[in-house]
């Protein structure tokens, strides 16, 4: 479609064109109900089938079985920052947090309101240019859980090898890189992800949680903030974000059709290499923020020699049919978010644009 731009926004972000077209095709009459998916009841069989399929597809892609539940909640990852300690940080226990950027800091801030916390590792001293090495992480005695953020959209870093802490429950915010590559999901007791980066539209948050954790929430916290409320009702305790769950399921179908997580990783490595090569071959004109061994497959962050050139780059990229390349307001610079749905051709276009911009201004 010639009127669509190349969308590098960090979230809400690019969706697969196949998914958008499939939703468009059946928008007025979903599954021969004579109604739009936007109109049908969440208590109806057609929607319950969407809900069940989405959970099954997520578990299939992650290689998980009946010992896990997938919940579709509202409130974004930011609500999970509070729900997790409210459910799992009980009196007398300590929750360990590993800090790798702004979002892990926000998660820690919420946990501190609930109970005792411990910073088990941090790369803040280097302005979050990397993720910690396993030997740098120092856990507290018998932590209730360890929390990590797998990918850092603002700084452009990603855990290349996800850590493991034996019997200690491991929780992860994977909002910006879930399903971008194969990994051992069974190492995690809880994974959560706001959908608007790599799973679908804004409005729904996927929570993948071990069944035993989802069934034993404290009775002292509000009903809507208890995981067992949502697990026992298949995420249908109240009206869910039905259209967002429907689109998320279409994205899961699309990932399966592309060949699953192995195919996603190969495609994502190809895309990221195109942009990182443009940075590395620029003789210092482009400066990547992340250390090379912590570079993200999803968010490529970089600076130019001065802010005037960065403004010029952003403006000229829009004129060239690209959008969303300005860096996060807290750090400035430039950022290309290249989630699963970004085509390889989009990264090729950006790479060529970067090389030509460097030739003219370097």
Pick the CATH number of 18-258 from 3.40.640.10, 3.40.50.300, 3.40.50.720, 3.40.600.10: 3.40.640.10
Domain 259-361 class in CATH: alpha beta
Intrachain domains 18-258 and 259-361 with the same fold: no
Is 43 annotated as ligand-binding?
Answer: yes
> What's the CA gap between 82 and 63, in Å, rounded?
28
DSSP string, 92-111: T-EEEEEE-SHHHHHHHHHH
Question: Which residue numbers are catalytic?
Answer: 103, 173, 197
CB 160: neighbour CB atoms within 10 A?
13
Q: What is the pLDDT of residue 332?
A: 84
Res. 1: pLDDT tops 70: no
At 59-76, the pLDDT tens digits run 999 999 999 999 999 999
**Which residue in this structure is represented by tokens 């067992």?**
228
pTM: 0.97
164 — pLDDT class (breaks 50, 70, 90): very high
For the record, the structure tokens of 248 come out as 């998320």
Q: Is 314 annotated as a binding residue?
A: no
Evaluate whether 152 touches 299 at the Cβ level (below 8 Å): yes
* 196 annotated to bind ligand: yes
Give per-residue pLDDT as tens, 294-336: 999 999 999 999 999 999 999 999 999 999 999 987 788 999 9
The response to whether 359 counts as a known ligand-binding position is no
Domain boundaries, the chain: 18-258, 259-361
């Amino acid at each position: 479609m010639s009127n669509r731009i190349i969308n590098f926004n960090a979230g809400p972000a690019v969706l697969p064109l196949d998914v958008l077209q499939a939703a468009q095709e059946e928008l007025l009459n979903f599954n021969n109900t004579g109604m739009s998916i936007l109109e049908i009841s969440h208590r109806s069989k057609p929607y319950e089938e969407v809900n069940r399929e989405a959970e099954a597809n997520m578990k299939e892609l992650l290689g998980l079985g009946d010992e896990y539940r997938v919940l579709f909640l509202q409130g974004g990852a930011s609500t999970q920052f509070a729900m997790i300690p409210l459910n799992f940080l009980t009196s007398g226990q300590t929750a360990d947090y590993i800090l790798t950027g702004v979002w892990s800091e926000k998660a820690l801030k919420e946990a501190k309101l609930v109970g005792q916390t411990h910073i088990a590792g941090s790369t803040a001293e280097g302005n979050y240019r990397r993720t910690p090495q396993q030997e740098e992480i120092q856990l507290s005695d018998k932590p209730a859980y360890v929390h990590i953020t797998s990918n850092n959209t603002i700084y452009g870093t990603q855990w290349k090898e996800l850590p493991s802490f034996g019997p200690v429950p491991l929780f992860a915010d994977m909002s910006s890189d879930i399903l971008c590559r194969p990994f051992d999901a069974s190492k995690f007791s809880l994974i959560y992800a706001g959908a608007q980066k790599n799973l679908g539209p804004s409005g729904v948050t996927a929570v993948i949680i071990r069944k035993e954790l989802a069934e034993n929430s404290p009775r002292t916290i509000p009903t809507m903030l208890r995981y067992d409320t949502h697990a026992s009702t298949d995420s249908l305790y109240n009206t869910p974000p039905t259209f967002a769950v429907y689109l998320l399921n279409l994205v899961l179908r699309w990932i399966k059709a592309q060949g699953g997580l192995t195919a996603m990783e190969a495609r994502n490595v190809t895309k990221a290499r195109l942009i990182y090569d443009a940075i590395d071959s620029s003789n210092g004109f482009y400066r990547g923020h992340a250390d090379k061994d912590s570079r993200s497959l999803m968010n490529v962050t970089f600076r130019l020699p001065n802010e005037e050139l960065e403004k010029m780059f952003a403006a000229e990229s829009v004129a060239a049919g690209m959008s969303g390349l300005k860096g996060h307001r807290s750090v400035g610079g430039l950022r290309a978010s290249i989630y699963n749905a970004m085509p390889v051709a989009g990264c090729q276009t950006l790479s060529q644009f970067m090389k030509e911009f460097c030739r003219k201004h370097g």
